[in-house]
Amino acid sequence: MTKIDFSQINKTAAESFNQQRNVIKRIAKGQTVLCEACEKPLTLTVLSEGESGVQCSKGCTQINLELDA
Ligand SMILES: [Zn+2]
């Protein structure tokens, strides 16, 4: 059996998830968040009910996220 340390993977994923959720929250409030890569403003798009996406005009940042109420 090979042991894999999932704790580190999960921690990173959780941090990434929280970071993405914060970005979407800020944009939803009308704040401007810039893409880390191209420094263009990120825009919020609603993909479907309860699911939102954030992307920059160049497409180097693309976040799709299901939002809880
Ligand atoms: Zn970009």
In a domain, 45, yes or no: yes
In this structure, is residue 48 part of a structural domain?
A: yes
Q: What's the gap in Å between 3 CA and the centre of ligand 1?
A: 38
Neighbours of ion ligand 1 (CB under 5 A): 35, 37-38, 56, 58, 60-61
Q: How confident is the model over 38-62, as a mean pLDDT?
A: 87
User: Is pLDDT at 67 greater than 70 in this prediction?
Assistant: no
The pTM for the full model equals: 0.65
Asked if the structure places residue 1 within a domain, the reply is: no
Count of domains forming the chain: 1
Residue 69 has pLDDT above 70, yes or no: no
Distance 60 CA to ligand 1 centre (A): 4
Q: Is the pLDDT of residue 35 over 90?
A: yes
- Tell whether 62 is covered by a domain: yes
Range of the domain at 10: 6-66
| Distance of CA 63 from the midpoint of ligand 1 (Å) | 11
Tell me how far apart the 2 most distant CA atoms of the chain are, in Å.
50
- Average pLDDT for residues 40-49, to the nearest whole number? 85
Residue 42 · residue 34 · CB < 8 Å: yes
